[in-house]
Amino acid sequence: MLHFAKGLLIVALIYPRKDKAWQRATVQRWGQQLLELLNVELNIHGELPAGKKLIVSNHISWLDNFVVQALCPAHFVAKSEIRSWPVMGWLVARTGALFIERARRHHTLKINQDMMAALDSGDSVALFPEGTTGTCEAVRPFHSSLLQACIGSNAPLIPAGLRYHTADGAQTHAADYVGDMNFMASLKNILREEKIIANLYIGSAISAAGKSRRDLAQEAEQAVASLLGLAAPHRILKTPLDPPAETH
């Protein structure tokens, strides 16, 4: 709680007055300290390229955001409900999160524009294209609607695979944030573990040149599944009876 209070004070009193380099370093350091407090050890497999990029990963928990931020400060695309979370919602909103209102179909256009602006300014953006959290046994199909910014800004797409283990190497579900679980219940599950190892696997950059966002989504989900040693998601082929494909 003291760590969150520290974050609130920094963001309210100091953060807006500092330059972008200081803000990035502060967000990264705060995320690293949060992982340390929760006894979560971050293991990075691979290397992120310098410069702007769109990071896409499978999604297991609210903890995923801070795992990625501990490696690379980025603007996260998050569901609008998170903005109403006590403390956490205010913190992530003030530090650059981009909130999407999924019930409003046309809001996707605005978020893509915001993502493109962030990428064009040299920042990194992170996204969980599955659209929801799940367990680490499978990768679900990636939604393509928020990948247009990657194409518009000509930013590389970086696939990342995330999995949580215990100290002895066994896979753990302690960080899972699924079903009707609330934040405090999830936090208690994490704290009950003696130690959690967050393994983050970084794949090769995927170029957006000459590709549609559907192409990017399929290539990215296959790359993430491969990083985790899982089968790629099964996609249902369109038939003449299906709704028309979205335009690009």
Whole-structure pTM value: 0.87
Over the stretch 132-175, which tens digit does the pLDDT of each residue have?
888 888 899 999 989 999 999 999 999 999 999 999 999 999 99
On whether the CB atoms of residues 71 and 25 are closer than 8 A, the answer is no
Over the stretch 178-196, which tens digit does the pLDDT of each residue have?
888 888 899 999 999 999 9
pLDDT beneath 70, residues of the chain: 102-103, 234-248
Confidence at residue 248, expressed as pLDDT on a 0 to 100 scale? 36
The pair of three-digit structure tokens given for residue 39, joined into one six-digit string: 């006894």
DSSP designation for 67: H
Backbone angles phi, psi at 53, to 5 degrees: -170, 155
> Average pLDDT of the chain?
88
Give which of 60, 66, 64 is closest to 28, Cα–Cα: 66
Q: Which amino acid is at 156?
A: P
Confidence at residue 241, expressed as pLDDT on a 0 to 100 scale? 38
pLDDT-above-70 percentage for the chain: 93
Work out whether strand 157-166 and strand 196-202 pair parallel, antiparallel, or are unpaired: antiparallel
Confidence at residue 103, expressed as pLDDT on a 0 to 100 scale? 66
Confidence at residue 9, expressed as pLDDT on a 0 to 100 scale? 92
